[in-house]
Structure 1
C-alpha cells in the first residue's frame, strides 16, 4: 500500500501583495538575480483533484491532499521523499520510498516550481560531491512525480508539457499511472540563475503589433557559436522537451528529445537578399545546434524571455546545462 500526497499550489500573497518566493501561484515572472518565480493570483480547480484522490483511495492508497502556498510548505511535502540518514550527512531521496507524489498543475510553471525545490533539496554542494552521484550530473535521480493537469480535457488548446510528453490527463488514468506505472526518466536543464527548465526558453520581444524586435547577443552551444553578438537576432529558442517555439510559422527547433541528454538551441537571424531585379527581400535564417550546455550573453541592456512560461529579463550572461535523466514522471 502506498501513501500518496496530492499537492496543489495555492495563491496566498504576502503583506506586500506579491506571491511567495517559491513561485507557488499560477503564472508568474522570474527575476534573473534571485531566480524565484513571482506569480499572479489564481484559484485552483478542485474537481480533478478530488476525482484523482477518490480513484487512488479506491485502489487502497492512503491519500492526503495538501495545498502549498510557499517554498517552505512545498519543502515540507518533499521531505517525505527523503531517504534514511547518510554517513556523509547529505539529504538524499529514498529510492525505495512507499510515498508517491502527485502534483496538480494549472500551468507548466507550477510543475517547474516543485522540481526547482526538489533540485535545491537534493543537489549536493560541489565541494561535497559523493561517489554515488551519477557521472555528468550535479543532482541524484530525483523522485518520480505524478502530473495531474487541472485542464483534463485540454480545453485551453495550449500544448502543455503533459501533452508533449503524452502523459494521461484523466484523473483516474493519472491515479493508475502513479500506482501501476513505471518511472519515465527525463532530462532536466539547470541554469546559473538558480532555476530549472523542463520544456524550454524563448528569448526575444515583439512590438505592439506582434512583430519581433531585433536584439544582439552571443549564443554558444558547447563549442559551436550560433551568433557572435554582431548579428541582429529575432529570437533564440532553447528546447528540452517536445518542442517549444515558432516564429512567423517557421519552426525554430527540430523536435527535441527529452531523453537524449542534449539541449536543442536555435537562433533566428533576418538576412537581406536582393533579387536579380535589385529588390530587397528579407528571409529568416535559422541556425541550430545540439549540445550539453548553452550560454547566452546579451549585448543589449535587457532581453525579455519566457522560460517554461515564466517571464523575465536577461541583462547578463546566463548558462543552461543538461542533467541527463535527472527527473522522472509516473507514466502508464
Structure 2
C-alpha cells in the first residue's frame, strides 16, 4: 500500500505574528515581477479550507493508505515534502525522481497558482544543470519525467471550460474520487512550459491589461513563435495569449486560442491587434485581427517600459525579454 502526503500551501501569516513574506508559499493573490518568483505580500487572508482535505484523508485511510497531511508555508517546506519522491542516489550525484516510489503526493489547491508553485519546486529539484546533463535525459527535454501528482480542488463546486485547470483537464473534484484516482488511477502526462525567469506555466499566460474603465491598454512588443513573427514591435497589441491549456483561450468574447492542448507538445500563441477600416462617409470602424502560431518556443520582447501579465493567475510585469518553451509530457496528474 502507498504512503500518501496531502500537501496544502499556507503562509507565514498563519503563524502567530507572521506575515506572507517574500519567498513564502502564498495561498493566492501573489504577484510576480519580471525575472523573479518571490510573491509579494497581499491583504488577502491565506486560510486553507480543511473539509475537503480531511475528507480525502479519511477516504485514503479507509483504503489502507498511510496518510500524512502537511501545510507548507515556504519553498523550503515544500522541498521537504518533495524529497520523499527522490530515487536512490545516482552514480552521477544528480537528484532524480523515483519512478517506482511508494509515496504519492496530493496537492490541495485553492488556485492554479498553488499547483504551479509545487511544480516549480519539482522542476528546480530535478532539472540537472546544463553542464551535468545525463545521457538518459531525452534530447527534447531539460527535466526528467516529474512524479505524478494528485490534485484536490478546495472548491469542489467550481467547474466549467473556463474554470480552474482541474476543470479543464476533467480531473475528479470530489475528495473520495481524488483518493481513488491516486490509489487506483493512471498517470496522465502533460506538457509543461518552462521560462527563462526560472518559473513554469501549467495553463498559460495573458499579456496585456485594461484601464479602470475596462478599456484595453495597447502595448508594443516583438512576439516570435519559433521562426514565425506575430508582431515586429510596431503594432499596438491588445493582448497576447500563450497557451498550454485553455484558460486564456478568449478575452471578453474575442477568441484567441483555437485548440490549446496540454498533450500535443507545442505551445499555441495568439496576438490580437486592432485594425482601423473606413466605411461609407469616411466613418472609422475598428476590428481585431488575431494572429496565431504554434511551435516549441515563444519569445516576447516588450518595447514599452512594463507590460502587465497573468501567468497561471499570478500577476506580474514584463520589462525585458521573456521566453517560454515546451517540455513535452514533463509532468503528470493522477486521473481515474
Relative to the length of structure 1, the TM-score reads: 0.97
Q: Could you tell me how far 1:158 is from its partner in structure 2?
A: 6.1
Q: Could you tell me how far 1:19 is from its partner in structure 2?
A: 2.9
Counterpart for residue 328 of structure 2? 324
Counterpart for residue 235 of structure 2? 231
Q: Tell me the distance in 2 between the aligned counterparts of 1:25 and 1:151.
A: 13
The question of 1:280 aligning with 2:320 is answered no
Q: Tell me the distance in 1 between the aligned counterparts of 2:63 and 2:302.
A: 53
Q: Could you tell me how far 1:274 is from its partner in structure 2?
A: 0.8
Q: Deviations over 1:141-178 (max 9, x none)?
A: 00000000000111799600000000000000000000
Counterpart for residue 9 of structure 1? 9
Q: Deviations over 1:261-289 (max 9, x none)?
A: 00010011000001143211000100000
Specify whether residues 156 and 263 from structure 1 end up closer, same or farther in structure 2 by C-alpha distance, changes over 3 A only: closer
Specify whether residues 213 and 105 from structure 1 end up closer, same or farther in structure 2 by C-alpha distance, changes over 3 A only: same
Q: Tell me the distance in 2 between the aligned counterparts of 1:244 and 1:114.
A: 21
Q: Tell me the distance in 2 between the aligned counterparts of 1:4 and 1:20.
A: 29
Q: Is the 8 A contact 1:243 1:254 kept in 2?
A: no
Q: Tell me the distance in 2 between the aligned counterparts of 1:191 and 1:156.
A: 28
Counterpart for residue 121 of structure 1? 125
Q: Is the 8 A contact 2:12 2:24 kept in 1?
A: no
Counterpart for residue 23 of structure 1? 25
Counterpart for residue 185 of structure 2? 181
Q: How does 1:131-210 map to 2 (within 5 A)?
A: 131-154=135-158, 159-210=163-214
SS at structure 2 position matched to 1:38: coil
Relative to the length of structure 2, the TM-score reads: 0.95
Counterpart for residue 35 of structure 2? 33
Counterpart for residue 211 of structure 1? 215
State the number of aligned residues. 332
Structure 2: 5+ residue stretches without partners? none
Q: How does 1:265-276 map to 2 (within 5 A)?
A: 265-276=269-280
Structure 1: 5+ residue stretches without partners? none
Specify whether residues 3 and 165 from structure 1 end up closer, same or farther in structure 2 by C-alpha distance, changes over 3 A only: same
Q: Tell me the distance in 1 between the aligned counterparts of 2:256 and 2:162.
A: 18
Q: Is the 8 A contact 2:11 2:20 kept in 1?
A: no
SS at structure 2 position matched to 1:97: coil
Q: Is the 8 A contact 1:184 1:330 kept in 2?
A: yes
Q: Is the 8 A contact 1:302 1:314 kept in 2?
A: yes
Q: Tell me the distance in 2 between the aligned counterparts of 1:143 and 1:122.
A: 10
Out of 309, 312, 332, the residue aligned to residue 313 of structure 2 is: 309
Q: How does 1:85-96 map to 2 (within 5 A)?
A: 85-96=89-100
Specify whether residues 268 and 44 from structure 1 end up closer, same or farther in structure 2 by C-alpha distance, changes over 3 A only: same
SS at structure 1 position matched to 2:70: strand
Q: Could you tell me how far 1:37 is from its partner in structure 2?
A: 3.1
Q: CA RMSD in A?
A: 1.6
